[in-house]
Amino acid sequence: MVSTQAAEAEAGQPPALTIDALGKKCPIPIIMLAEQINYVPRNAIVSVLADDPAAFTDIPAWCRLKSHHHVASYELPDGGWAIHVRRNY
């Protein structure tokens, strides 16, 4: 597991927005991300907290499809991931 401080250092900046999608099944985490990503400045990081295994692969795939950058995914201590996405446009 990567600590929050290590995650911020690797990403270069702390998340500008955290979306709590824990307990939600796909596609809800992606829908939440799509609805909220435009509320952060360009090049900002959005952290999506999700524990549905589909989100672990689907959010990076959504990033490729929508031309945003999947920075990294970090395991959460109680299960799930913090999936960091950089807004590109």
CATH of the domain at 41: 3.30.110.40
Q: Which one is catalytic: 26, 40, 54, 76?
A: 26
* DSSP-derived pairing of the beta strands 69-75 and 45-50: unpaired
pLDDT tens digits, 70-84: 999 999 999 999 999
Q: How far apart are CA 59 and CA 48, in angstroms?
A: 9
Q: Is residue 24 within 8 Å of 60, Cβ to Cβ?
A: no
Whether 63 is a known active-site residue: answer no
* Residue 43, domain extent: 4-86
- pLDDT score for 18: 98
Domain count, the chain: 1
Nearest alpha carbon to residue 34 among 44, 19, 49, 24: 19
Please report which confidence band the pLDDT of residue 13 belongs to, taking 50, 70 and 90 as the band edges.
confident
pLDDT tens digits, 45-70: 999 999 999 999 999 999 999 999 99
pLDDT at 5 over 60: no
Q: What is the pTM assigned to this prediction?
A: 0.87
CB neighbours of 34 closer than 8 A, spacing ≥ 6?
62, 66
- pLDDT score for 3: 45
